[in-house]
Amino acid sequence: MIFKADSHAKINLFLYVTGKREDGYHTLCSLMTRVDLCDSLGFEFGREQVSISCSHPDVPSDNTNIAARAACLFFEEFYHKKGGKKAGVAITLEKEIPVGAGLGGGSSNAAVVLNVLNKKYHYPFSRRELMDMGLFLGADVPFFIHGGPALAKGVGDRLETALPLQPYHVLLFYPGIQALTGEVYKKMDFSLTKRGKSNINNPLKSGRTGSVVDIKSGLHNDLETAALIRYPDIGLAKKELLQFQPEGVLMSGSGSTFFALFSCFRKANQAYAALYTKWKGSGKKVFLTSFVQTL
């Protein structure tokens, strides 16, 4: 019997680069939320070892895949630290989230694996322990284990639950280009990131109305200019989205996907239909999504 689980994408509603550590990792302050674009993971339990299969040509189908690494790490910790039995799992991965798109697909896959295995083996690890394991795999993994909208600081290890967000329809445009995070950081002018650091939390304060936050006026990404310098062709995505006059447009993470916020579904759907028809079959992808705010 195969157990199925959804693996959501994320977007960064703001992202500030706050520093660089001696080990080379950059520290950030970023507000992230999941959206309802999902990969699908299937699990066959009771295997002797970990295996993974994925039909996407750019995703490895061996134990270098981050989802397989997550399973191996879980079983290693389960066996050595919790006295659990040696076990394995066969994972199938159906990709919908574009690869190298700034949408956290791999990190989300890893988080789902950790959460599913933890449930299967009757919760041997606390959420904090799972998040610590996740950080070993990738900076965004703890966010996906955490759940709903969150303010991530440090290298992604310090997470604060954010207030509920004003709902928007979110149009994603992936321009068919994989952006490498390391290449984007090489193009950054770190002197520019110092501007406005004291105002990082202002979007969460100035946009607050009652118990929700309207983030449209707080959209910001320190990595966007660097990504456009390194991969100028991704600017097409921003140009295409802006023509529909959304409430805001921003690049997610280190790129290459841009997203647009629409309060009106009709307007968002018209934009989606136009872009989908224009770029169908080109390698560029358009998705109409919305915020996922449940834990």
Catalytic residue list: 10, 140
- 288 vs 268: CA distance, rounded Å: 8
Residue 50 and residue 71 in contact, taking contact as beta carbons nearer than 8 Å = yes
Residue 213 and residue 206 in contact, taking contact as beta carbons nearer than 8 Å = no
- 229 vs 238: CA distance, rounded Å: 14
CA 91 to chain centre: 20
